[in-house]
Amino acid sequence: MRGMIHSHNPSVVFLMETKQNSHRMNQLRMQLGYHQGVNVDPIGMAGGLSLWWKPKVSVQIISASKNLIDTAILDDLTGVQLRCSYFYGPPYREEKDPFWRGVSNLGVDVSVPWVCVGDFNEMLWHHEKLGGAPWCNSRIRYLRNFLNDHDLIDLSHVGQTFTWARVDDGVITIQERLDRALVNTNWMEVWPNSRVVHMPRVGSDHCPLILECVPPSNRARRLFKFELAWAENPECVEIVNRGWREGRGRSLAIKWRSSLNSCRRHLIAWSKSHFPNNKKVINRLMGEIDLLQQVDPLNVEQEKKLITRLSEAWMREDSYWKQRSRILWLNDGDRNTKFFHTSTTIRRNRNRISRILGDDGTLYEKQEDVERVFNDYFSKLFASDGSRTWNGVLNCIHPIVNDDWNRELCRPIEFEEVKDAVTQLGSLKAPGPDGFPGLFYQKYWDEVKEVIVGTAMSYSES
């Protein structure tokens, strides 16, 4: 849990089946950087709820019981008011009917964005269960009735299908989707792209859920950038020298580019060992656990090994931040019927272009690939096949550069001019597509000057 809080920095954290008293949960809450919260103590060794929140949101507790914490929340940054109901549905048959009758009037007069999230201990559809006793069509569908009566939307999710698994003697026997988020149409109007992320099960039989109001966009691969921290390391000089000497090319300009590419490769390899990124290790292990739980859920031994390595990586990440004396805490319209309004909201959410068929017959799903297919199509659509002869236009332009100016512009470039230009570069500003800022050329001038000055002179002579 500590690692996920560090990685995702949620504004609000909801915990179920804590099995701990308020004193212990308050200690843990403070350790993880949440200075406000409310607890519902377990009954004996069963149950227990905790709700924590950051100072950037104001939380009013409407009610709190062993199965539900109902709140009104104000986002202090945006001023948005919302209703959040945190569910822990009763797991026992005899408790279900009184609980669901008790929440039948929940949110009846809500006119703000509303979300019901948590472990409902109920499923909506037969395909949300794998293994165990078959789906019984005759039993009461409490969650489906609640969703329909309140005109709620089952928020879309990413990740594995099932959120709970039962393991008997090291073998997964039953899997179900018991955890989810339900929202009203007001929520979808404010956050139309919100979604739920099913994280891998680690240390629990349930998947942690992350409710993303504004999901991160699918960004392009991170570009290389020469880091200031590298330049401050004395070993970096030798790494740059080694990479620069490997540059080859028929011309100085080609050699310059080749040298930069070689330096980039050496610097990346060197930085991985000297500047380890525990976050990448954590993300990779989480991905492996997620894949294993979906593809080979019976391989419990391998899952235990991965979880052990993940715990070690989280400990290293925790030490990394402590050494730096800081901790990154897992810091409108027409008069439509409710049915039409809900249907329209769902359709708008579905109308997002998440994949597209390219001209080559390939189905592209990554955001950058979808954008590229669109760009390629319209670039060809609006391309001009007209004449490229501009003499008629150029004849109408009167030259303003006189002979004296022209001689000054055409004179050979001198060494000191190039050196002065490099010195005047902003050391860390706008490194350009190659990722090397002015700092790189200034700090390692003795190594790179021959190629840089030679390239500039060759351009002036051509």
Helix (H) or strand (E) holding 181, with range, is strand 179-183
The pLDDT assigned to 317 comes to 67
Q: Do residues 265 and 226 touch, judged by C-beta distance below 8 A?
A: no
The pLDDT assigned to 327 comes to 31
CATH architecture of 2-212: 4-Layer Sandwich (3.60)
Longest dimension (CA), the chain: 99
The pLDDT assigned to 380 comes to 80
Q: What is the CA radius of gyration of the chain?
A: 30
Domain spans of the chain, in order of start: 2-212, 233-323, 353-383, 395-461
Cα end-to-end span (Å), the chain:
63
The pLDDT assigned to 107 comes to 86
What amino acid is encoded at 81 in this protein? Answer: Q
User: Residue 259 class from Cβ within 10 Å (0-12 exposed, 13-18 middle, 19+ buried)?
Assistant: buried
Is 422 in a helix, a strand, or coil?
helix
Helix (H) or strand (E) holding 382, with range, is none
Torsion from C-alpha of 449, 450, 451, 456, nearest 10 degrees: 80
The pLDDT assigned to 273 comes to 83
The pLDDT assigned to 333 comes to 42
The pLDDT assigned to 231 comes to 86
Is 48 in a helix, a strand, or coil?
coil
Beta bridge partners of 154: 182
Q: Please tell me the distance from the alpha carbon of residue 87 to that of residue 89, in angstroms, as a whole number.
A: 6
The pLDDT assigned to 279 comes to 77
Q: Do residues 142 and 122 touch, judged by C-beta distance below 8 A?
A: yes
Write out the DSSP string of 291-325.
Answer: HHHHH-TT-HHHHHHHHHHHHHHHHHHHHHHHHTT
Helix (H) or strand (E) holding 156, with range, is none
The pLDDT assigned to 48 comes to 96
The pLDDT assigned to 353 comes to 67
Per-residue pLDDT of the chain (462 residues; tens, 9 = 90+): 888 888 889 999 999 999 999 999 999 999 999 999 999 999 988 999 999 999 999 999 999 999 999 999 998 888 899 999 999 999 999 999 999 999 999 988 899 999 999 999 999 998 999 998 888 877 778 999 999 999 999 998 888 899 999 988 888 999 999 999 999 999 998 898 889 999 999 889 999 999 998 755 555 456 788 887 788 889 999 999 999 999 998 889 899 999 999 999 999 999 888 776 777 888 889 989 988 888 888 888 899 999 998 888 877 666 555 433 333 333 334 444 444 445 555 655 555 665 688 888 887 867 788 888 988 888 887 776 666 677 777 788 888 888 888 888 888 888 999 999 999 988 877 677 788 989 999 999 999 999 999 998 887 776
Is 79 in a helix, a strand, or coil?
coil
Among all chains, which residue has been given the structure tokens 């507790």? 61
The pLDDT assigned to 345 comes to 56
Q: Do residues 82 and 112 touch, judged by C-beta distance below 8 A?
A: yes
Residue 128: count other Cβ atoms within 10 Å of its Cβ: 17
The pLDDT assigned to 179 comes to 97
Helix (H) or strand (E) holding 278, with range, is helix 278-295
User: Residue 91 class from Cβ within 10 Å (0-12 exposed, 13-18 middle, 19+ buried)?
Assistant: middle
Q: Do residues 128 and 177 touch, judged by C-beta distance below 8 A?
A: yes
Tokens of 150: 């309140």
User: Residue 328 class from Cβ within 10 Å (0-12 exposed, 13-18 middle, 19+ buried)?
Assistant: middle
pTM: 0.56
Q: Please tell me the distance from the alpha carbon of residue 347 to that of residue 369, in angstroms, as a whole number.
A: 23
Is 159 in a helix, a strand, or coil?
strand
